[in-house]
């Protein structure tokens, strides 16, 4: 019902601030008044182990990038609790549409170190066939949509995917991850509006890590973060401590309930910090202080969850040491194998553009093959999958 007032009344939104949901203190103790989420021993261990494995993979692969073995890398460091905590609250068959910094989600779902490496090196076993930069993973089996670099494009797609899930009535939802920077894109706003208008089971998960490359969140938005935007779209929203895996798990568990039981979208804003550089090409010392980083290093999400697990008797120092050691070894062994594997075959240049290779593409490839046979040394990767003795006349088209 419309309420009339007779003095001009402007609101700014400062009337509402959104509190941050947190369960574990930095010492791994439950806050007073907090209750433990329904998280069983094995589930909790799986969550933590995925966070740990993500940290180790990231450390090793950044080192490999520094040695020049890899062209590019991006770390999840500092945000493992947000990413893995959210994933652990989903059904493993729920769809995840990530931005790019969410390898923790794949780790949790069981993407093998081999699978990570094959994509990182773009070798013949890379599901993406060596077309994308490292870290643009995808897995149909694990319900993880292949990453696309243009930011925020996955957010309205998540709304559409989830609408299809609702129609299919399979009880699944979609969770899409994005940064507070990407939330500035038009696609974000379109996605939230359509999701609330059409009552779609989608979870919008914003990783507010303080920076979009060099741009601090104070230059990204003027309001109290991303969460208040949900009000404008009449959407459930919760802000959560992104360095507290338990709180993220609990918030996402409940968000999922709202999504699949009521077919309503939910926005989650996880407050965290990008501890590492934006990518291996970035140097954060140009735009932020070491002191600021240290403050957040002290809030390491791994340590917090680990302390809680140890107190419960679900994890031990010995296990920690053994796990770290075996993960490091596995990453190194797998890395050596993956980097030696051949590149994708030359024919993969023209496959998957369309469902079927068009005659024009076939002609272009045949011409390229003839060229590479003439200069095999100039194209060592392409020449690898070519039989250099083959008469060029056996190509599907004669000389162009």
Partner 1 sequence: MPTMNMLQAINNALDIAMAEDEKVICFGEDVGVFGGVFRATSHLQEKYGKARCFNTPLVEQGIIGFANGLAAQGSVPVAEIQFADYIFPAFDQIVNETAKFRYRSGDLFNVGGLTIRTPYGGGISGGLYHSQSPEAYFTHTPGLKVVVPRNPYQAKGLLLAAIRDPDPVLFLEPKRLYRAAVGDVPEEDYQLPIGEAEIVKEGSDITLVGWGAQMEVIGKAAELAEEQGISCEVIDLRSLLPWDEDTVAESVLKTGRLIVSHEAPLTGGFAGEIAATIQERCFLYLESPISRVTGLDTPFPLVLEKEYLPDHLKIFEAIRESVNF
Ligand X SMILES: Cc1ncc(C[n+]2csc(CCOP(=O)(O)OP(=O)(O)O)c2C)c(N)n1
Catalytic residue, from 287, 329, 374, 375: name it.
287
Q: Name the strand (E) or helix (H) holding 176.
A: strand 174-179
Please report which residue ranges of 240-341 form alpha helices under DSSP H.
Answer: 245-262, 290-297, 301-311, 317-340
Nearer to ligand X, 79 or 250 (CB): 79
With binding defined as CB under 8 A, does residue 119 bind partner 1? no
- At residue 240, φ and ψ (nearest 5 deg) are -135, 150
SS3 216: strand
Residue of 79, 150, 64, 151 whose CA lies nearest to 113: 64
Compute the chain's Rg from CA coordinates.
24
- Residues present in the chain in total: 400
Interface residues for partner 1 in 183-222 (CB under 8 A)?
Answer: 184-187, 212-215, 219-221
Phi, psi of 238 (to 5 degrees): -140, 140
Residues 6 or more apart in contact with residue 137 via CB below 8 angstroms: 103, 106, 111, 115, 116, 119, 127, 128, 144, 146, 147
Q: Shortest approach of partner 1 to residue 5 CB, angstroms?
A: 33
Residue 242 binding target from ligand X, partner 1, none, CB below 5 to 8 Å by type: none
Could you say whether residue 350 binds partner 1 (CB under 8 A)? yes
The window from 46-54, 182-190, 238-246, 256-264 that contacts partner 1 (CB under 8 A) reads: 182-190
Q: Does 182 bind partner 1 (CB under 8 A)?
A: yes
Nearer to partner 1, 286 or 313 (CB): 286
Comparing CA positions, the residue from 167, 349, 340 lying closest to residue 263 is 167
| Closer Cβ to partner 1, 161 or 188, answer by number | 188
| Of the residues 89, 346, 366, 373, which one makes contact with partner 1 according to CB under 8 A | 346
Return the structure tokens found at 137: 């993973």
Q: Any catalytic annotation for residue 287?
A: yes
Site residues for ligand X per CB under 6 A: 101, 149-151, 179-182, 207, 209, 211-213, 274, 278
Which of partner 1, ligand X, none does residue 350 bind to, with CB < 5 to 8 Å depending on kind?
Answer: partner 1
Residue closest to 244 by CA, chosen among 109, 82, 393: 82
Q: Which of residues 150-169 bind partner 1 (CB under 8 A)?
A: 150-151
- The residue from 374, 387, 388, 390 that contacts partner 1 (CB under 8 A) is 374
The residues annotated as belonging to the active site are 274, 278, 287
């Amino acid at each position: 019902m419309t309420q009339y007032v007779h003095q001009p009344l402007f609101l700014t939104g400062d009337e509402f601030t959104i509190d941050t949901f947190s369960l574990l203190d930095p010492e791994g103790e439950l806050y007073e008044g907090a209750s433990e989420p329904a998280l069983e021993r094995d589930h909790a261990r799986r969550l933590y182990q995925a966070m740990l494995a993500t940290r180790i993979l990231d450390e090793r692969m950044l080192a490999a990038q520094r040695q020049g073995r890899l062209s590019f890398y991006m770390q999840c460091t500092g945000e493992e609790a947000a990413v893995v905590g959210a994933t652990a609250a989903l059904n493993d068959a729920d769809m995840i549409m990530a931005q790019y910094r969410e390898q923790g989600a794949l780790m949790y779902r069981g993407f093998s170190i081999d699978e990570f490496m094959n994509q990182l090196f773009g070798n013949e076993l890379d599901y993406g066939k060596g077309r994308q930069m490292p870290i643009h993973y995808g897995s149909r089996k694990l319900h993880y949509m292949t990453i696309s670099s243009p930011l925020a494009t996955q957010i309205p797609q998540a709304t559409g995917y989830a609408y299809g899930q609702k129609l299919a009535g399979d009880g699944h939802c979609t969770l899409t991850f994005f940064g507070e920077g990407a939330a500035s894109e038009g696609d974000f706003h379109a996605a939230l509006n359509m999701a609330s208008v059409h009552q779609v089971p989608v979870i919008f998960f914003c990783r507010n890590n303080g920076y979009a490359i060099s741009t601090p969140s104070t230059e990204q938005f003027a309001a109290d973060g991303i969460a208040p935007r949900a009000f404008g779209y009449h959407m459930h929203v919760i802000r959560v401590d992104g360095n507290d895996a338990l709180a993220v798990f609990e918030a996402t568990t409940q968000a999922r309930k709202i999504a699949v039981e009521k077919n309503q979208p939910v926005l989650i804003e996880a407050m965290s910090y990008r501890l590492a550089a934006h990518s291996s090409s970035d140097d954060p010392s140009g735009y932020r202080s070491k002191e600021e980083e240290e403050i957040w290093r002290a809030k390491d999400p791994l340590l917090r969850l680990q302390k809680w697990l140890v107190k419960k008797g679900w994890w031990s120092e010995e296990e920690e040491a053994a796990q770290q050691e075996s993960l490091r070894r596995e990453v190194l062994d797998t890395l050596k194998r993956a980097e030696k594997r051949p590149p994708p075959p030359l024919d993969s240049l023209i496959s998957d553009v369309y469902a079927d290779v068009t005659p024009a593409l076939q002609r272009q490839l045949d011409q390229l093959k003839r060229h590479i046979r003439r200069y095999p040394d100039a194209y060592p990767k392409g020449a690898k999958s070519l039989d250099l003795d083959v008469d060029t006349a056996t190509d599907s088209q004669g000389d162009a």
